[in-house]
């Protein structure tokens, strides 16, 4: 087998076409319609009425549950704890994490302050 035959055999196995065999369209489907203009694509669409939206609730708020949990700790008054021990009301690990974010923010941790600010927990 010479080099030309070997190259052709490899291209055939890999599904590639040689230089002389290139076509303008795929062998699977011949494109008769522009992108998105095929009748099967269009018949499924139903236009909205004027003033109506397809997403009435809007984009869901990311981290909404985290914000709610952090808001709970933001309204709680507690004395300074120099031993970094969470209050007894923080019984679950999640509550302790939420408390820790507020605790670190109070002591000047910029990342925790940024988290609280982005979630809107510092807005009032």
Tens digits of residue pLDDT in 44-66:
888 888 887 777 777 777 788 88
Band of residue 108 on the pLDDT scale cut at 50, 70, 90: very high
Cβ neighbour number for residue 103 with a 10 Å cutoff: 21
Contact status, residue 121 vs residue 67, Cβ threshold 8 Å: yes
Residue carrying structure tokens 């974010």: 101
pTM, to two decimals: 0.42
Pick the more confident residue, 106 or 23.
106
Q: How far apart are CA 31 and CA 124, in angstroms?
A: 58
Pick the more confident residue, 112 or 65.
112
pLDDT in tens, 55-107: 777 777 778 888 888 888 776 666 555 567 777 777 787 888 888 898 899 88
């Amino acid at each position: 087998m010479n080099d030309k035959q070997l190259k052709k055999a490899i291209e055939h196995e890999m599904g590639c076409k040689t230089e002389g065999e290139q076509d303008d369209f795929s062998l699977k489907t011949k494109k008769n319609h522009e992108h998105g203009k095929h009748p099967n694509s269009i018949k499924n669409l139903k236009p909205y009425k004027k003033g109506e939206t397809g997403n009435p609730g809007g984009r869901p708020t990311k981290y909404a549950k985290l914000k709610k949990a952090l808001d709970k700790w933001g309204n709680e008054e507690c004395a300074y704890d120099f031993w970094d021990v969470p209050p007894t009301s923080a019984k679950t690990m999640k509550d302790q994490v939420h408390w820790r974010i507020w605790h670190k923010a109070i002591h000047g941790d910029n990342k925790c302050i940024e988290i609280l600010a982005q979630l809107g927990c510092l807005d009032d």
